[in-house]
Amino acid sequence: MSVKQSVLVIDDEKINLKIIGDMLNDDVCIMMAKSGEQGIRKAIEYQPDLILLDVLMPEMDGFETMSRLRHDARTSTIPVIFITALNDSSHEEKALLMGASDYIQKPLHTNIVQARVRLHLQLIKQRKMLEKLANIDPLTSLANRRKYHDVITHEWQAAIQNQDCISLIVIDIDNFKQYNDCYGHATGDKVLQQVAEVLANQVADKGLVARYGGEEFVILLPRHSREHSIDVARRCMQDVEALNLAYSHEDFSGKVTVSVGGSTQSPSLGCKSDDFFDAADDMLGLAKKSGKNRILWKLANDRQVVVE
């Protein structure tokens, strides 16, 4: 069943809200706001797919409302169509320059409003689908490296601003080449999917799990202390082992395990998220060198701790 897309209509005239609502009600889920201020609040809270915005409103007009929507990261990408009685091309130009998707003049014609809204909703649906495809690893359905980079960039800034800690776990399957050599790439792919599922279940909504590449995964845990994050890492490791994916081939045999590197930081201005990644990745390298199937965590002053 397809979920209806949502449209927020912002207009100070109750009658206009009703007219536009009646025009669109069959196709979309309508939300209404009687002022720019209320519209911004609803846009933040409900994240509509599209906003229809009246230009002439008391207190905060459509242009100021638009400017505030564009300057707030939570609403900056929601497409806006201006609706106005102003029959003046300079206003239309101003709206389009501010980033409006379209400009509809009153009096409103039902068919024109419906057709334009439908067109923009279709474009929005396609854009969201492309964004999703661009951010997802097709084999495991986890976030991909590109998505990880978007999220760490945002969360790193948030951690600096709010003086929060943030943890990163880097996980790599041990001896995966041997597994592939035993059973072939197709079976190896299934292992990647199973490991991905284990990690996703363990992290749930605590943070982001991404396939960083090959047989390497990352888990980003904003606002998670070292103790909590080590706990998550430990449970991920145990759950992978519990999958009991055994392999044996000529002179080697074993069971699929993972090695884990981790780092927790409370970043300050000037700290780089790339160094944060390198710290966790260095720990992973040491975990591999010191015998695999273990967790190494970066401590302050370049020290590290072996967890398991």
Ligand X SMILES: Nc1nc2c(ncn2[C@@H]2O[C@H](COP(=O)(O)OP(=O)(O)OP(=O)(O)O)[C@@H](O)[C@H]2O)c(=O)[nH]1
The structure tokens listed for 24 are 């669109």
Q: Does 261 bind ligand X (CB under 6 A)?
A: no
Name residue 60's amino acid.
M
Pair 215, 189: CB distance under 8 Å: no
Among 94, 106, 228, 288, binds ligand X (CB under 6 A): 288
In whole angstroms, how close is the CB of 237 to ligand X at the nearest point? Answer: 14
Find all residues with CB under 8 Å of 152, minimum gap 6, and list them: 168, 220, 273, 276, 277
Pair 29, 6: CB distance under 8 Å: yes
Other beta carbons within 10 angstroms of residue 171's beta carbon come to 26
Among 171, 174, 267, 296, binds ligand X (CB under 6 A): 174
Peptide bond into 107 cis (omega under 30): yes
DSSP state of 131: H
Among 12, 137, 215, 281, binds ligand X (CB under 6 A): 215
Residue at shortest CB range from ligand X: 188
Among 102, 137, 155, 172, binds ligand X (CB under 6 A): 172
Name residue 174's amino acid.
D
In whole angstroms, how close is the CB of 89 to ligand X at the nearest point? Answer: 55
**Distance in angstroms (rounded) separating the CA atoms of residues 251 and 176:** 15
**Closer CB to ligand X, residue 27 or residue 278?**
278
Could you give the C-alpha distances from 146 to 72, 141, 151, in angstroms and in order? 23, 13, 9
**Closer CB to ligand X, residue 191 or residue 208?**
191
**Closer CB to ligand X, residue 86 or residue 286?**
286
Interface region with ligand X, contact rule CB under 6 A, candidates 99-107, 176-184, 231-239, 269-277: 176-184
Among 180, 193, 194, 304, binds ligand X (CB under 6 A): 180
In whole angstroms, how close is the CB of 216 to ligand X at the nearest point? Answer: 9
**Closer CB to ligand X, residue 208 or residue 287?**
287
In whole angstroms, how close is the CB of 130 to ligand X at the nearest point? Answer: 23
Could you give the C-alpha distances from 170 to 167, 221, 281, 283, 304, in angstroms and in order? 10, 11, 6, 9, 15
Residues that bind ligand X (CB under 6 A): 139, 172-177, 180, 185, 188-189, 192, 214-215, 288, 292
